[in-house]
Amino acid sequence: MPKFSRTQKFTKANIANVPQNKAIIYKIKSKGGENLYTGIAGRGRPQDRLLEHKEIKKEIIPEGTRFQYAQVKTKDIAHKIEKSIIKKEQPEFNEKHK
C-alpha cells in the first residue's frame, strides 16, 4: 500500500501542489475523516482530475472538504490499489463500492 499524503483542505491552492509526474490514487474525505470517494488519475492528470471533483463536488460529494493522495508508478497499479481501498473502506460515493 502506498503512503498517502497528510489530509489537507480540498482547495484549488492545495490541488495546485499535487505532483503531475506520476499516476495518483486519491481519497476525498469528510471533515471528520471519513473516506467518501476514492479515485485515480493518470500521469499528467492529477490536478485536472481533482479540480473536476472540486467544481462539481457540491452536487456529487457535498461533504467532501478534505483530500489526500499517493503517487504510484503506473495507472495499472493505481487501479489495483483503488479497488482494494474501495472494497475495504466502501466509500459512500463510489458506485456500488467497486
Backbone angles phi, psi at 28, to 5 degrees: -100, 125
Beta pairing class for 8-9 and 23-29:
unpaired
- Report the predicted TM-score, pTM, of the whole model to 2 decimal places: 0.92
> Using an 8 Å Cβ cutoff, are 64 and 53 in contact?
yes
Asked whether the predicted pLDDT for residue 2 surpasses 90, the reply is no
Domain boundaries, the chain: 8-90
pLDDT-derived band at 1 (thresholds 50, 70, 90) equals confident
Asked whether the predicted pLDDT for residue 9 surpasses 80, the reply is yes
Task: Give the mean pLDDT of 28-47.
Answer: 95
Per-residue model confidence as pLDDT tens digits over 45-66: 999 999 998 887 566 788 899 9
Nearest Cα neighbor of 18 from 62, 51, 56 is 51
Candidates 3.50.30.10, 3.90.1150.10, 3.50.50.60, 3.40.1440.10; CATH matching 8-90: 3.40.1440.10
Q: How far is 41 from 20, CA to CA, in rounded Å?
A: 9
